[in-house]
Structure 1
Amino acid sequence: MQVKGKSMAPPSAAVSAWSRVRNNYWLMFGLVDGLRVTGNGVLDGNGQSWWVRRCSEVACVQSAPTALKLVRCNNLEVSQISSKDSPQMHVAILQSRGVNLRKLTITAPGSSPNTDGIHIDQSQNVRIADSRIGTGDDCISVSSGSRFVAVDGIECGPGHGVSIGSLGKNGYTAAVEFVDVRNVRFTNTMDGARIKTWEGGQGYAKSISFTNIEFDNVDHPVLIDQFYRDRSVQVGVAISNVTYSNLRGTSSQATAVAFDCSGGGSCTDIHVNYMVITGPGGRRTVARCRNAQVAISGQVYPEIPCRS
């Protein structure tokens, strides 16, 4: 599939154009092995017409469509294209294996709702590299059923960072493992390296690493959040074998690191190896811990109060 020029989606007001879409996508490929989507063109999702109507008209009842959805596509490559102003997610990879995403440019205003850049769900052996992503939600999100995911060489901002999750919604069992995030620069994002789970969820997220990460004026640079919606529940998805190596930069908030875990040993085997995150101009920052077991090596600032 060669993408050239600009392809623009119909606006949300074009009811007749969207009434036939039941799966909430604009462009979709399914069950295509060896697919290559490339070119220097732009997919313009015309998202502004959806964002302004969000939860004000009937358009709110059914979620806005994903711009490019790829389902059960093995040995897939998506490269060089640009995605602009998607109504909701820009690129969604579902139930696929052997996926290579590279040299993508994904943009939407920081205020645009639910415009994740790249969403990975129930997929294996996925590589995302050398891309520029700035949206109103996660630059990259890795959801349940995904394993062997590599993220390398990403410029993220604005947005909500690179997120593992959210996992365990409605008590569901989650499974994410072998995720390697490296050489990422976060600029003016809400979050940076984030793992987020719902209360009451089951399953696990394990063998996750964040390496060579830079933060520039990030609200929450390092975050494990097991209380995504409700702080009253003390059961969560088990998070283990998480490593942070060579993280540096600035936090816009005083709390630069937060390991906020539920009880019952749900956050174990967390390692921090060299991390220096200060406030603007070198101002003091702090770290917050709850029910986490953290091993420290090398220079680490702010000081982690929950060392194992």
Structure 2
Amino acid sequence: MGIIGIRMATLLLAALAWCSVLAAAGGGEVDGVFNVKDYGARGDGVTDDTKAFVDAWTAACGARGSSASTLLVPAAKSFLVGPTRFNGPCASTGITVQVLGTIMAPPAGAWSGKNYWLMFYKVHGLTVTGGSTGLLDGRGWTWWHNKCRGYADCVTKAPTALVVMSCADVELRQFRSKDSPQMHIAVSQSSKVHLTQLTITAPGDSPNTDGVHIDRSEDVRVSRSTIGTGDDCVSISSRSRFVTVDGVVCGPGHGISVGSLGRNGATASVEYIDVKNVHFINTTNGARIKTWQGGKGYAKSISFTDIMFTNVDNPVVINQFYVDRHHVPNMGAVALSNITYKNLRGTSKHKTAVDFHCSEIGSCTNIHVNSVAISAADGGGTVARCQNAQGDTSGYVYPKIPCLR
């Protein structure tokens, strides 16, 4: 064997030895891709794969280099994963979680007490994508039926499926989420988050299964998605600003809600909310703003534009008297101002298509309504109820809103 042959053999042996080291360590990466199966995940839907996911994330997040790392959840497998927090910041310039298979939550009886299932914490430059096959299966039915029979407040103890907490520059794209125990996706204390091409589903009677919940966040966009759950398709809570919802099909569910705001006398702040190109189908509410009695603060610069309703119970709602059975009414109210409704069309399941139910203390001001035509789904007429709202209408508006000029 010549010198070149000896060198080639030496390099081959070294490469084989390195592969053996990686295999012995239970993990490895190829071209920046960290496959959870290389870290011990079985993907049989029975074995607990939580540790493998944590180990793969630790390796991917800690990888240094000029290109982004990818944590791969391969197709045609079902991975049972318990409550897991994927911590940042990461050493890599960006990180992608590519979910091509199914990630399954444990049943309620095997839960460890966490109020989340999968959480990304302090990660910058995160993408979670699923192509056409990726699925998060929250197995919420084990919570709804076994834990929630007979008392409504029990769902506050159920976990949220996917939480984005204290993150920035995030994209959630092209995956399905079904049957979360409680909310499907929560974006909290984060910025520059884009959720697009998602399919989120749960039965219409499943408790508190909001599609996307946004709180204490800014520059958040939800687009080109289909959401049908047992609660709000999208809910926007306090200290959120610059939120856009565009191109969403919503139903079943409770509509798209700003609020609820001001619970237990809290001070709310919500501004620059833009909801457009949304189709509500068989929902209990459509475009809704809800605040608690006794709240403080403001919600302003909110617009609903190019909205379609199909057989919606309450298409357009402002409710400043949102209460539960334990609440003691008082006269405080979150101030609502600069609320715009433009180009709203469709049908209402009930006769009342527009309901502005505002506090007596002048807290609904500068309400602008332009170009509205909402008829009854049964072919009859509709009416608007209006209490203490101040503002104006322009263009053709039906039903007529009596307290606006």
Equivalent of 1:277, from 365, 374, 377? Answer: 374
Which residue is equivalent to 1:53? 146
Contact 2:314 2:353 in 1 (8 A): yes
| Counterpart Cα distance in 2 of 1:146 and 1:126 | 9
Equivalent of 1:72, from 166, 172, 177? Answer: 166
Contact 1:8 1:45 in 2 (8 A): yes
| Counterpart Cα distance in 2 of 1:213 and 1:12 | 38
Q: How do 1:179-198 residues align onto structure 2 when only pairs under 5 Å count? A: 179-198=273-292
Which residue is equivalent to 1:241? 338
Equivalent of 1:257, from 337, 354, 359? Answer: 354
Which residue is equivalent to 2:269? 175
**What is the SS of the residue equivalent to 2:143?**
helix
Whether 1:143 aligns to 2:237 is yes
| Counterpart Cα distance in 2 of 1:276 and 1:72 | 41
**What is the SS of the residue equivalent to 1:299?**
strand
| Counterpart Cα distance in 2 of 1:213 and 1:120 | 21
Whether 1:2 aligns to 2:95 is no
Structure 1: stretches of 5+ with no match in the other structure: none
| Counterpart Cα distance in 2 of 1:277 and 1:68 | 36
| Counterpart Cα distance in 1 of 2:403 and 2:184 | 38
| Counterpart Cα distance in 2 of 1:281 and 1:261 | 28
| Counterpart Cα distance in 1 of 2:362 and 2:328 | 16
Contact 1:235 1:263 in 2 (8 A): no
| Counterpart Cα distance in 2 of 1:56 and 1:191 | 25
Which residue is equivalent to 1:160? 254
Alignment coverage as a number of residue pairs: 303
Deviations 1:148-171 (A, max 9, x none): 001100000000000000000000
Contact 2:349 2:378 in 1 (8 A): no
Aligned-residue RMSD, C-alpha = 1.6
Cα 1:232–1:49 shift into 2, 3 Å: same
Q: Which has the larger share of strand?
A: 1
| Counterpart Cα distance in 1 of 2:339 and 2:188 | 24
**What is the SS of the residue equivalent to 2:259?**
strand
Larger Rg: 2
TM-score (norm. length: structure 1) = 0.95
Contact 2:144 2:181 in 1 (8 A): yes
Q: How do 1:284-295 residues align onto structure 2 when only pairs under 5 Å count? A: 284-295=381-392
Deviations 1:223-248 (A, max 9, x none): 00011116943221000000000001
Contact 2:370 2:397 in 1 (8 A): yes
Cα 1:173–1:36 shift into 2, 3 Å: same
Q: Give 1:54 shift.
A: 3.4
Q: Which has the larger share of helix?
A: 2
TM-score (norm. length: structure 2) = 0.73
**What is the SS of the residue equivalent to 1:226?**
strand
Cα 1:61–1:128 shift into 2, 3 Å: closer
| Counterpart Cα distance in 1 of 2:355 and 2:156 | 34
| Counterpart Cα distance in 2 of 1:35 and 1:57 | 40
